Structure 1
């Protein structure tokens, strides 16, 4: 996608941080913006800021874990703008830090529920509508550098973000035939208010194994204060969409760390000469299975 003028962009977590940066950058490029956020007051503030720039924007209060609410939000987008989004940004996320061995069910349910479940809800809600509309589009999901390797102090977050990377790779392969591109953003640090996420933690997910208090929030703020500006990150996202790029990792300082991590994985693969005949048979079986599945899918669609 090269031209954003007149596109409809649906952005979760759009009232602040990375989401608001996306709203500003793509709104300035001519897109009509829908910001979805769980915080009504933040939406009103963001809408006023966007209106001040002459950006057409609409706000929807949305808990991305609520599938019925997500469907209503999708209906509202079509009522307001006459069509489903052509740009979908799965940006909303939460985090909390603590020792992996002290992680509770509530920690997993909340952190994975938002960071992975919320993305799934966005995809299942909007992808069929985008396909039915028959227009070129693009989907951007915010993962994290934490999704590219594990973390002893952010295990639920890293696990959810890793699943998001894998999921976007799958959608990328599946949606190309419909003219819908897919990108996954893996930030290292953003100047955002995600440090405040624990204040929004619903009561049904109480019972964390982590320390969540004013001191921990202040500590996180001290880290994020040095992060990349949301608008700068959104400009990188815009360039990635224009180039139909899958991975968006605008952090050159992370390159060697990632190289060491993935070299360790690649080096664990046995050399071909260890079992050449077994490798040949496994490859052939997989290829035959894939061809058979393709024939079944084509037949079912016919």
Structure 2
């Protein structure tokens, strides 16, 4: 998808941070932009800002965990701005919990419900509409560098690893390939956002010194969200699967892959036969999806 002028881009978690950076980037390309977010006050400010850049803009309050509300918002957005051609499932949060001993089911449900359930709901709500129209289209799911290498943040890592796998599997679906519908997974590193503070507040926790240290790290070492927005636009234009914002996790990715390869048993004739059969049946993740204009 080379030209975004007048194409409808729908973004969750769009009132601030990476979502707002993505919105500004697509708006600068002349897209029609729908902003969806749970924060009404910030959403109103974001809509006013993006409206100054976009061909047309809409904004809806949305809890991405609510499937009925998601369907209603998508219907209203398409009625106003036309068919959604780029879906950015960006809404997400971390977990302020620092010890596994402090975890409970409520925290698991909250993090997985937003970070994974929100992506599932976005895909399941919008993708059938894209397929029914026959494309073109593109889906961008926001994961994390923590979706590629583990950290001690158990709930967050679990949700983000799942988003990476979901997106890579989407990329292989023959119906999407035939319709020119691409899929990308955004794996940001440090970005200058309020996610640490917001996540703590969402869990009903006080913003303590530990949380403030995490926030300061993002502010001091993080990329500008507008930089990330530009990276997303470029990746959709090029049909790339993986969107990385920097390279600081590269040594950890290399280490993880080495551990995986080193754990494999010695190769046998059976392995070689099965590998050959798999290569014949399994599409590759490597080539970009061209996408029909």
Q: What TM-score does the superposition give when structure 1 sets the normalisation length?
A: 0.86
Runs of 4+ aligned residues of structure 1 deviating over 6 Å after TM superposition are 284-288
**Corresponding residue of 2:192:** 191
Q: Is the 8 A contact 2:86 2:138 kept in 1?
A: yes
**Corresponding residue of 1:269:** 264
For structure 2, the residue ranges without an aligned partner over 5 or more in a row are 283-293
**Corresponding residue of 1:215:** 209
Aligned residues, how many?
277
Q: For residues 80-136 of structure 1, give each alpha carbon's deviation from its aligned partner in whole angstroms, at most 9, with x where no partner exists.
A: 1232x1000011101113123432111111011110011000000000011112231
Q: For residues 127-168 of structure 1, give each alpha carbon's deviation from its aligned partner in whole angstroms, at most 9, with x where no partner exists.
A: 00111122311111110010112222x111001000000000
Q: Secondary structure at the match of 2:265?
A: coil
The CA RMSD over aligned residues, in Å, is: 2.0
Larger Cα Rg: Structure 1 or Structure 2? 1
| Larger CA deviation: 50-59 vs 238-247 | 50-59
Q: Secondary structure at the match of 2:182?
A: strand
**Corresponding residue of 1:14:** 14
CA distance in 2, matches of 1:54, 1:69: 25
Q: What TM-score does the superposition give when structure 2 sets the normalisation length?
A: 0.88
CA distance in 2, matches of 1:54, 1:283: 48
**Corresponding residue of 1:245:** 240
Q: Is the 8 A contact 2:31 2:54 kept in 1?
A: no
**Corresponding residue of 2:291:** none
| Larger CA deviation: 98-107 vs 135-144 | 98-107
Question: Which structure ranks higher in relative contact order (CA pairs < 8 Å, sequence separation ≥ 6)?
Answer: 2
CA positional deviation for 1:286: 6.5
CA positional deviation for 1:282: 4.8
For structure 1, the residue ranges without an aligned partner over 5 or more in a row are 292-302
CA positional deviation for 1:214: 3.6
Q: For residues 206-237 of structure 1, give each alpha carbon's deviation from its aligned partner in whole angstroms, at most 9, with x where no partner exists.
A: 7xxxx753434322221220211111011111
CA distance in 1, matches of 2:131, 2:125: 11
Q: For residues 3-31 of structure 1, give each alpha carbon's deviation from its aligned partner in whole angstroms, at most 9, with x where no partner exists.
A: 01011000000010000001100001011
CA distance in 1, matches of 2:54, 2:110: 36
